[in-house]
Structure 1
Amino acid sequence: MATRHLYLVRHGAADEFGELREAGYRQADLLGRRLAGLPIDTVWHSPLPRAAASARTLARHLPGVPVAEAAELVDHVPYVPGPAETPPAWVDFFTGFDPAEAAAGRRLAEALLARFTEAPEAGQADTYEVLVTHAFQIAWLVRDALACPPVRWLSLGSANTGLTVLEYRTGRAPHLMMFNDLSHLPGELRWTGFPTAVRP
């Protein structure tokens, strides 16, 4: 049975202008080394500079593999919860989202799922794709794979170049193989993209 393997990656650490920091380039390079032994077909990336630079950097370890932009991977809010389902800590974040903005985000989220979660058809070969994107998009894909309510994307976070692996097979539920794995990074490069806290 053919399998679609998705390697979901949050871009490397970036500055306030959305450009990769030196640490972000190091993170992407180390992730590329980790992925080098896999039969990757394509590296897809968000249109935003921090994701594009991360994709190009890790792809240096994947000679001959095409690197391409996918508009569906752009950073956006995939689902704006209603007042009754919004966790208190998120109320301020969603203040000011108008219905048109929320609808546009939902359309992008639906397009993301439509493009990247379809299992191969019978007789097709396995596929291996790297998606260099953003924390919200990884959360949305994982939430969908686990068939959780839409609001649960809020409870899933990914560190810079954290690796998440999803597998799709026809007739079976999606399989979450790994979430936010940072084992390719030394201690000083782990857990960037989160507020400072004590981390393992």
Structure 2
Amino acid sequence: MIHLVRHGEAAGGAQLQGGADPGLSDLGRRQVQALANRLAFRPVRQVLHGPSRRTTETACILTENLGAGAVPSDLLLDRTPVPSPERRGDYPTHRWEWFEDVPEDEGDLDGADLTAAWHRLWSEHHDEEVVLVTHAFVVSWFVREVLNAPPATWMRIGPIGNATLTSIGPNLAGEPVVETFNAEVILPI
């Protein structure tokens, strides 16, 4: 079972500017703690995470509570699938302008890197309990890939909430299926 987790709320919230790499806010840490409590009785063996501060801090809180090891992975980098000129027709025209603002270092042409990352992660971890801590667009693309949906589908999945849980496991034929999607945890008062 692969559990996809978006990092907890980032410090600075909606005010984040390009290039910022914030850690978690106080609320973000509480969100992740609540998620760790939800996963506490799962036999999680490993927590893989992207290199950003917020994914790293999310993974640290999870590993402290789950007794699993944390491993950084560039497969979980914050990426945004952007269509190549030949594939723009896969997306509605009202989305085209949005792609122009995607930072060059974050853009993933036709989602090729994300697709390869998902297939590698599935092949290496589908038979164990593992948590993958990443970003909203990555979770959306991975779910789109599992559903074998058209490319633009990732933009209609969600919004993926902070510290939410999406679980993907094998069906009887060994193919990945979405078992839980974007499940939020309830924070204690």
TM-score bin (small chain):
0.7 to 0.9
Report if the CA contact (8 A) 1:76-1:105 is conserved.
no
How many residue pairs get aligned? The number is: 178
Q: Cα offset for 1:57? A: 1.0
Aligned equivalents of 1:143, 1:97: Cα separation in 2: 20
Instruction: Tell me what 1:48 maps to.
Output: 52
TM-score, with length taken from structure 2: 0.82
Distance 1:176 1:74, change over 3 A: same
From 70, 73, 78, the equivalent of 2:76 is 73
Contact 1:76 1:137 in 2 (8 A): yes
Distance 1:171 1:85 in 2: 30
Structure 1: segments with no counterpart, 5+ residues:
189-200
Pick one of 98, 108, 116 that aligns with 2:113. Answer: 108
* 2:88 is the alignment partner of 1:83: yes
1:7-47 deviation per Cα after TM superposition (whole angstroms, max 9, x unaligned): 11000001224321111011011101111101001001011
Taking only the aligned residue pairs, the percentage that are identical comes to 29
Match of residue 169 from structure 2: 167
Deviations 1:94-129 (A, max 9, x none): 1266999756573421331232122779xxxx4000
Report the secondary structure of 1:78's partner residue.
Answer: strand
Q: What is residue 179 of structure 2 aligned with on the other side?
A: 177
Q: CA deviation at 1:140?
A: 1.0
Secondary structure at the aligned position of 1:13 is classed as coil
Tell me which of 48, 60, 63 is aligned to 1:59: 63
| Closer/same/farther in 2, CA of residues 60 and 98 from structure 1, 3 Å limit | closer
**Of the candidates 5, 16, 37, which is equivalent to residue 9 of structure 1?**
5
4+ runs of 1 displaced by more than 4 Å?
96-105
- Say if 1:51 and 1:105 are closer, same or farther in 2 by CA, change over 3 A: farther
Shift of 1:186: 3.1
Shift of 1:170: 7.4
Q: SS state of the match for residue 47, structure 1?
A: coil
User: Where do 5+ consecutive residues of structure 2 fail to align?
Assistant: none
> Contact between 2:2 and 2:125, CA under 8 Å: does it hold in 1?
no
Root mean square deviation of aligned Cα: 2.8
